[in-house]
A and B are shown apart, each in its own frame.
Chain A
Amino acid sequence: MKKAIIPILIVVGVVLFGSAGAFAFNVTQLPPSQSTPGESFTYPSLSLSSSSITQGKVLFDENCASCHGVEANGATGLAPPLLGVGPATIDFWVSTGRMPLEQSAIQPNVHPDRFTRSQTLDIVKYVSSLDARAGPPIPVVNTKRGNLAQGANIFALNCAGCHVITGVGDALADSTFAPSLALANPTLIGEAVRTGPGNMPIFDTTQITPAQLNSLARYVTYLTKRPQDAGGAGLGHVGPVAEGFVALFFGVGILMLVAYWIGDRTPDPRIEEHNE
């Protein structure tokens, strides 16, 4: 009677192991809807000519002026001046939803659906009109012209130190972090490279040429489609620690249960006789 319980226990154990693994897999996965750029991230036109300065002023006064000031010259200890920073900087911060700032924090977070594309460009145009200095323009990035292998090389050399080689980002110093690149699209990648938002270094056109930027953006957009997941769960792409944990805990655990089933002791009739 007692013996019949053991196989059941083993089956239950395997199921428990499996479901715990599935749970761990779920909590470490990015939601699938976020791994591809959403509708608000498509860039039909990079031209600012169609956007309206007046519309931009209204939006700026409503959403930005309370911190950056109506003349966009900033406020000490609160917000930096925006005069002369250039269209790429404004576009990056607004279209990723980092601005307007949701709450005061060391590092703003991404909120991708604040404004429509044309509203964002209105704000960009208005702020750019306030100062004669040009600043980096919104870069034109064409991933079709990029070379994937060259992009991977540039990414490994310049980006992987902080964003890690899988592009999922990592913690840095002083409560800051390198964000995941899952939401990045080619234009945002270009803007980040050229303007160095927050603590990211600036890479100008001598360091990463426009052609290299095409390659880099092609690689990053390729990376965010998770090509390395063809064989199964990515486990959050945080590397060998998570993978080793799964291999040791779940893999070896299940193997131990199987070994227990295979190798249990043959009952010795002599001992049973003795016990009776």
Chain B
Amino acid sequence: MSDPRYADRTSRPKTVERTIAVCFTVSLLSTVGFAATYWQTGPDMLLGVFFAMIFLGMGVGVIAWGKYLMPQGPFVEERHPLTTTEEDKQEFAEAFGRGADSIKRRKLLGKLFVAVNGVFAIALIIPLRSLLGAKTPGSELYHTNFGKGTRLVTVNGEPVTLAALDVGGAQTVFPEGYVGSATGQTILIRPQTTPLVTKPGRETWSPAGYLAFSKVCTHAGCPVGLYLQEFKELLCPCHQSVFDVSTGATQVFGPAPRPLPQLPLAVNSQGYLVSQHDYDEPIGPGFWSRGALWNGHNS
């Protein structure tokens, strides 16, 4: 034991030994405590504490043992040679040769096999064609499921009447038949009881003071569901874009680049709120061809 490599790391092995013994005892007692708590259906918190103490005691003890009371070395172990022996090489060459000879004897099959693989590699080019000529979204980005006379329905699918909201109320609505539709989600609000003209040309859009705006933020597509009824503002929870309802949901704060599109409303003969036609511009965030094409898709 005179070899310093076999000496304990610590100068006080007795103290360390006692500490480790305490750790293991704590672990042991915690195991008993855990079992007892589980048996008595004790509080979850206590179970967790016992569980932590079991592994903490075990872990600290084992690491301290290895760190302070085990031979520290360094001990050198020589690596075995990495090259393959001559016998192994010869054996492999023989085994390989047997198979290769057998293949060479059947020339037709061999050539066919090469041909099959070659043609398959060329066939892999075909999917590239689909990538290059990918189907574009077409006009999907320009339309929602609102059309002429589409009833507005709640998230439960119930059609919305003129009596749906008090002044100051707000409700999420969808085009009938498309509850939950991502593009059709619309926020219906009622700032007053008389028609509210948000912009010139929208004189007939707000029967009895009902206004409907696309709920998809023009910035990043979050649902603009926060209606501040006193200030008549819509707030997007994601990036704090604020839209002024009275002027047609024009953006007054935040990163949104455009007002929220307004849905033209009307009342049908049964007293239900309906859309006059689809939104007259694409809803939601911008996309590459938005500005260039959407005018042609006006309904």
Interface residues of A, CB < 8 Å — how many? 28
Whether A104 is near chain B, meaning CB under 8 Å from some CB there, is: no
Known: A199-B228, A206-B164, A269-B74. 8 other contacts (CB 8 A): A157-B155, A174-B228, A199-B231, A201-B229, A202-B165, A204-B169, A207-B169, A230-B44
CB neighbours (8 Å) of A198 from chain B are 230
Interface contact A266-B168, CB-CB below 8 Å: no
- Which of B201-209, B235-243, B265-273, B289-297 contacts its partner? B235-243
Which 6 pairs, one residue from A and one from B, show the smallest C-beta to C-beta distance? A199-B228, A201-B170, A202-B168, A173-B242, A199-B230, A161-B225
Tell me the A residues contacting B by CB distance below 8 Å.
157, 161-162, 170, 172-174, 176, 196, 198-204, 206-207, 230-232, 261-262, 266-270
Residue of B whose beta carbon sits closest to that of A270: B74
Whether B5 is near chain A, meaning CB under 8 Å from some CB there, is: yes
Question: Closest CB of chain A to B37's CB: distance in Å?
Answer: 15
Given contacts A173-B242, A173-B253, contact A267 B72 (CB under 8 A): yes
Decide if the interface of chain A is mainly helix, strand, loop or mixed.
loop
- Which of A161, A199, A200 has a CB less than 8 Å from the CB of B237? A161
Interface contact B167-A174, CB-CB below 8 Å: no
Whether B32 is near chain A, meaning CB under 8 Å from some CB there, is: no
Question: Within the assembled complex, what's the spacing in Å between the Cα atoms of A202 and B167?
Answer: 7
Question: Closest CB of chain B to A213's CB: distance in Å?
Answer: 15
Whether B115 is near chain A, meaning CB under 8 Å from some CB there, is: no
- Which of B5, B169, B172, B242 has a CB less than 8 Å from the CB of A202? B169
CB neighbours (8 Å) of B164 from chain A are 206-207
Question: Within the assembled complex, what's the spacing in Å between the Cα atoms of A268 and B168?
Answer: 78
- Which of A174, A176, A201 has a CB less than 8 Å from the CB of B169? A201
Interface contact B242-A174, CB-CB below 8 Å: yes
- Which of B63, B165, B167, B227 has a CB less than 8 Å from the CB of A207? B165
Interface contact B44-A231, CB-CB below 8 Å: yes
Question: Closest CB of chain A to B218's CB: distance in Å?
Answer: 16
For chain B, the bracket of interface size reads 35 or more
CB neighbours (8 Å) of A174 from chain B are 228, 231, 233, 242
Interface contact B74-A172, CB-CB below 8 Å: no
CB neighbours (8 Å) of B237 from chain A are 161, 170
Show 14 A/B contacts (Cβ-Cβ < 8 Å), sorted by A.
Answer: A161-B237, A173-B253, A176-B231, A199-B228, A201-B168, A201-B229, A202-B167, A202-B168, A202-B169, A202-B229, A204-B165, A207-B165, A231-B45, A269-B4
CB neighbours (8 Å) of A232 from chain B are 45
CB neighbours (8 Å) of B73 from chain A are 266
Residue of A whose beta carbon sits closest to that of B243: A173
Interface contact A269-B231, CB-CB below 8 Å: no
Interface contact B166-A202, CB-CB below 8 Å: yes
Question: Within the assembled complex, what's the spacing in Å between the Cα atoms of A200 and B229?
Answer: 6
Question: Within the assembled complex, what's the spacing in Å between the Cα atoms of A156 and B38?
Answer: 35
Question: Within the assembled complex, what's the spacing in Å between the Cα atoms of A202 and B235?
Answer: 16
Interface contact A172-B229, CB-CB below 8 Å: no
Interface contact A173-B163, CB-CB below 8 Å: no
Question: Closest CB of chain B to A83's CB: distance in Å?
Answer: 16
CB neighbours (8 Å) of B227 from chain A are 201
Interface contact B226-A161, CB-CB below 8 Å: yes
Question: Within the assembled complex, what's the spacing in Å between the Cα atoms of A230 and B48?
Answer: 12
Residue of A whose beta carbon sits closest to that of B161: A206
Question: Closest CB of chain A to B90's CB: distance in Å?
Answer: 43
Question: Closest CB of chain A to B78's CB: distance in Å?
Answer: 17
Q: Of A162, A173, A174, A231, which is in contact with the most chain B CB atoms at under 10 Å from its CB?
A: A173
CB neighbours (8 Å) of B4 from chain A are 269
Question: Within the assembled complex, what's the spacing in Å between the Cα atoms of A192 and B131?
Answer: 55
Whether B199 is near chain A, meaning CB under 8 Å from some CB there, is: no
Whether B171 is near chain A, meaning CB under 8 Å from some CB there, is: yes
Question: Closest CB of chain A to B77's CB: distance in Å?
Answer: 15
Given contacts A201-B169, A201-B229, A202-B229, contact A173 B155 (CB under 8 A): no
Interface contact B168-A269, CB-CB below 8 Å: no
Whether B148 is near chain A, meaning CB under 8 Å from some CB there, is: no
Question: Closest CB of chain A to B216's CB: distance in Å?
Answer: 15
Question: Closest CB of chain B to A196's CB: distance in Å?
Answer: 5
CB neighbours (8 Å) of A170 from chain B are 237
Which B39-60 residues sit within 8 Å CB-CB of chain A?
A: 44-45, 48
Residue of B whose beta carbon sits closest to that of A272: B4
Question: Closest CB of chain A to B172's CB: distance in Å?
Answer: 8
Question: Within the assembled complex, what's the spacing in Å between the Cα atoms of A172 and B237?
Answer: 8
Interface contact A266-B72, CB-CB below 8 Å: yes
CB neighbours (8 Å) of B63 from chain A are 261-262
CB neighbours (8 Å) of A203 from chain B are 169
CB neighbours (8 Å) of A202 from chain B are 165-169, 229
